[in-house]
C-alpha cells in the first residue's frame, strides 16, 4: 500500500505505472491530490476553480474500468490541472476576465478532450493573467504566488499550472504558449514545459484556426512526465485544421533510444535581447554540461534580426482578431495592457504585416539551415529571474529599459517565431535561491529527439528532485 504523501512525491510516470499494475486506484490517487490541494492551494492560489465532485465521479468510473479489465490510456487515472484558457465541460472558464467571471463551458475543448480520452482526471482550473501575459494575476482571482518565494511572480500565463506542479497538487497540467506563456512559468517554478510544433496538440475553436503562434503543450515535474502527457495529447481534431496524427513511436518510448545530439549551439541572448548576467552564466554552465552526454558545444545562433518587431505585429493582429468586439462593448473591463495590444493590432498597416510575415518565413528557413549543422539550439528561457509580485511587468533588464509590457520575454517569443519545438529545462538557481531554466530548441517537429536529449540532460543536472516542494 502506498500512502498519499508517498504518491505526491512520485512522478506522473511512476504513479501511472502503479495505477496500471493496480497497486493504487484512480480514487486513491485523487484522494492524495485533494488532500495536497487543501494543504497548499490556500498559500499560493494556483487552482482557484476546483471541480472535485466531478473529478471523483470520473475516478469512480475509471476504477470500474480497471476492475472489468477495460483498456487504459497513457494518462489513465492521473489528476491534472486545466489552464483557465482551456474549456472543461461543466466548469467555469474565465480567462482571468471579469467579463467572463461566471462563464461556464458546455463542452471540453479539443486539447482537454484528448487528455480526457487518454484517461486524465481534471481536478480544477489553474490561474492565469487576464487574457494574456507573463505574470499571473487578474481581477477575478488575484495573484498566484511563486512557491520558491511567495513575494515574487510565478510567471505566466500558465503560472497556476506551473505552481500546482511545483507544489505537488497535480502531476500534470495543461499549458498554452503564444510568446512564452508555457516556458516562462516553467522557468520561474523549476518545472518542465514543452512548446510543441504547431499542430502537434490540437487546439479549441476559440482560437483563430490557421494561426501558428499559439500552441497547446504539456507541463510536468520532469521530462519523462512531459513526454507521457504529450502521448496523451497528440492527434488530429476537426476543431483544429492544423492538427495532425502522430505516426511515429510514442514519446515515452522515444526516451529509450540511444541516439543523442552530437553538436549543440548555445547563445546567451540570440543576439537580440538584454540578459541579466547571473541568468546568462547559469545557462551557459548548463549548456556546457551537454559535453557529458557526448555533444560538442559551440557558441552560435541563426540571425534573429527583426523578429521582435515582427512578433509584436503578428501578436497584435491575433489579439485584435480575438478581442475587437469585446473592446467595443467592455473597454472599461479590460486590462490596459490588453487594450494597448488590441489597438496595436487594429492599427497594423499592410506594409507592417507583409514585413512581419516575410521575417517569419525567412527565419524558419534560416533555422532549417542551422539544423543542418547543429542538433539543438540552447539559450536562456527568460532574461530575468522571478521579479516582485507587485510589479505588473519587468521594466528594466541589465539596466536597459523595456518598451512594452512583453519585451522582457522577447527571448521566448523570438523562438515562437521559428515554429520549432522548445522545452524549458531547469538549469540551476541564483545566489538567492531562485530557479533559472535553459530553453532547448529542436528541429521542426523534432519533439522526440528534443525530449530524449533533455531527459538525459535532466539526469546530468540533477534538479528534478527539487520538486514537489512546500511554499516558502
How do residues 328-349 score in pLDDT, each as one tens digit? 999 999 999 999 999 999 999 9
Mean pLDDT on 251-265: 96
Between CA 49 and CA 92 the distance in angstroms is 7
Name the CA radius of gyration of the chain, rounded.
Answer: 21
Residue tagged active-site, from 108, 126, 181, 197: 181
- pLDDT at residue 382 tops 60: yes
Would you list the domain boundaries of the chain?
4-466
- pLDDT at residue 58 tops 80: yes
Mean pLDDT on 368-397: 97
- pLDDT at residue 419 tops 70: yes
What pLDDT digit, counting tens, does each position of 441-458 carry?
Answer: 999 999 999 999 999 999
- H or E segment and range at residue 121: strand 121-126
Confidence at residue 67, expressed as pLDDT on a 0 to 100 scale: 57
Residue tagged active-site, from 97, 113, 153, 157: 157
- pLDDT at residue 66 tops 90: no
Confidence at residue 5, expressed as pLDDT on a 0 to 100 scale: 80
Confidence at residue 65, expressed as pLDDT on a 0 to 100 scale: 73
Superfamily of domain 4-466: Amidase signature (AS) domain (3.90.1300.10)
What residues pair up with 264 in beta bridges, in sequence order?
297, 376
Mean pLDDT on 381-405: 96
Write out the DSSP string of 363-382: HHHHHHHHTTT-SEEEEES-
* Sign of the C-alpha dihedral computed for residues 10, 15, 21 and 22 taken in this order: positive
Main-chain dihedrals φ then ψ at residue 193, nearest 5 degrees: -135, 135
Question: What would the grid cell of residue 448 be?
Answer: 522526440
Mean pLDDT on 284-290: 98
9 falls in which pLDDT band (50, 70, 90)? very high
Q: What is the DSSP letter of 45?
A: -
- Tell me whether residue 157 is one of the annotated catalytic residues: yes
Confidence at residue 462, expressed as pLDDT on a 0 to 100 scale: 97
Mean pLDDT on 378-403: 97
Judged on CB neighbours under 10 Å (0-12, 13-18, 19+), 339 is: middle
Q: Which residue has the cell 504529450?
A: 230
282 falls in which pLDDT band (50, 70, 90)? very high
- pLDDT at residue 276 tops 80: yes
- For 49, 58, 81, 82, 268, the CA distances from 29, given in Å and listed in that order, are 20, 12, 14, 17, 41
Confidence at residue 63, expressed as pLDDT on a 0 to 100 scale: 84
- Tell me whether residue 83 is one of the annotated catalytic residues: yes
- Percent above pLDDT 90 for the chain: 96
Confidence at residue 69, expressed as pLDDT on a 0 to 100 scale: 58
Residue tagged active-site, from 18, 25, 83, 161: 83
- pLDDT at residue 201 tops 70: yes
- pLDDT at residue 263 tops 80: yes
Mean pLDDT of the chain: 96
Between CA 417 and CA 413 the distance in angstroms is 7
- Tell me whether residue 18 is one of the annotated catalytic residues: no
Amino acid at each position: 500500500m502506498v500512502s498519499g504523501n508517498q504518491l505526491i512525491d512520485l512522478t506522473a510516470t511512476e504513479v501511472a505505472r502503479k495505477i496500471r499494475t493496480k497497486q493504487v486506484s484512480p480514487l486513491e490517487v485523487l484522494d492524495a491530490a485533494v488532500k495536497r490541494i487543501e494543504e497548499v492551494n490556500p498559500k499560493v492560489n494556483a487552482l482557484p476553480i476546483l471541480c472535485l465532485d466531478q473529478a471523483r465521479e470520473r475516478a469512480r468510473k475509471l476504477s470500474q474500468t480497471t476492475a472489468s479489465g477495460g483498456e487504459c490510456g497513457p494518462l489513465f487515472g492521473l489528476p491534472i490541472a486545466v489552464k483557465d484558457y482551456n474549456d472543461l465541460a461543466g466548469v467555469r472558464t474565465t480567462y482571468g476576465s471579469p467579463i467572463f467571471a461566471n462563464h461556464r463551458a458546455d463542452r471540453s475543448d479539443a486539447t482537454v478532450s484528448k487528455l480526457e480520452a487518454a484517461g486524465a482526471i481534471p481536478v480544477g482550473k489553474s490561474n492565469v493573467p487576464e487574457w494574456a501575459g507573463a505574470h499571473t494575476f487578474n481581477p477575478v482571482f488575484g495573484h498566484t504566488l511563486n512557491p520558491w518565494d511567495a513575494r515574487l511572480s510565478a510567471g505566466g500565463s500558465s503560472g497556476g499550472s506551473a505552481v500546482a506542479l511545483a507544489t505537488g497538487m497535480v502531476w500534470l497540467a495543461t499549458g498554452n504558449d503564444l510568446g512564452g506563456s508555457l516556458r516562462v512559468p516553467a522557468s520561474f517554478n523549476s518545472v518542465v514545459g514543452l512548446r510543441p510544433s504547431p499542430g502537434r496538440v490540437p487546439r479549441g475553436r476559440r482560437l483563430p484556426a490557421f494561426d501558428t503562434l499559439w500552441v497547446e503543450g504539456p507541463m510536468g515535474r520532469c521530462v519523462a512526465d512531459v513526454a507521457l502527457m504529450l502521448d496523451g495529447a497528440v492527434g488530429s481534431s476537426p476543431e483544429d485544421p492544423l492538427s495532425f496524427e502522430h505516426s511515429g513511436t510514442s514519446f515515452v518510448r522515444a526516451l529509450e533510444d540511444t541516439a543523442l545530439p552530437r553538436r549543440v549551439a548555445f547563445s546567451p541572448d540570440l543576439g537580440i535581447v538584454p540578459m541579466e548576467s547571473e541568468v546568462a552564466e547559469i545557462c551557459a554552465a548548463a549548456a556546457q554540461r551537454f559535453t557529458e552526454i557526448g555533444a560538442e558545444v559551440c557558441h552560435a545562433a541563426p540571425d534573429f534580426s527583426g523578429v521582435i518587431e515582427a512578433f509584436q505585429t503578428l501578436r497584435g493582429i491575433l489579439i485584435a482578431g480575438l478581442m475587437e468586439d469585446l473592446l467595443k462593448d467592455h473597454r472599461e473591463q479590460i486590462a490596459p495592457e490588453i487594450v494597448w495590444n488590441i489597438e496595436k493590432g487594429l492599427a497594423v498597416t499592410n506594409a507592417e504585416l507583409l514585413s512581419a510575415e516575410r521575417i517569419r518565413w525567412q527565419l524558419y528557413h534560416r533555422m532549417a539551415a542551422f539544423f543542418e549543422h547543429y542538433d539543438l539550439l540552447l539559450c536562456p528561457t527568460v532574461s530575468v529571474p522571478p521579479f516582485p509580485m507587485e510589479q505588473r511587468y519587468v521594466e528594466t533588464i541589465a539596466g536597459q529599459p523595456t518598451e512594452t509590457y512583453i519585451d522582457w520575454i522577447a527571448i521566448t517569443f523570438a523562438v515562437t517565431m521559428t515554429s520549432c519545438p522548445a522545452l524549458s529545462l531547469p538549469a540551476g538557481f541564483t545566489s538567492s535561491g531562485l530557479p533559472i531554466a535553459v530553453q532547448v530548441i529542436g528541429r521542426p517537429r523534432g519533439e522526440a529527439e528534443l525530449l530524449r536529449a533533455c531527459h538525459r540532460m535532466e539526469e546530468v543536472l540533477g534538479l528534478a528532485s527539487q520538486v514537489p516542494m512546500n511554499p516558502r
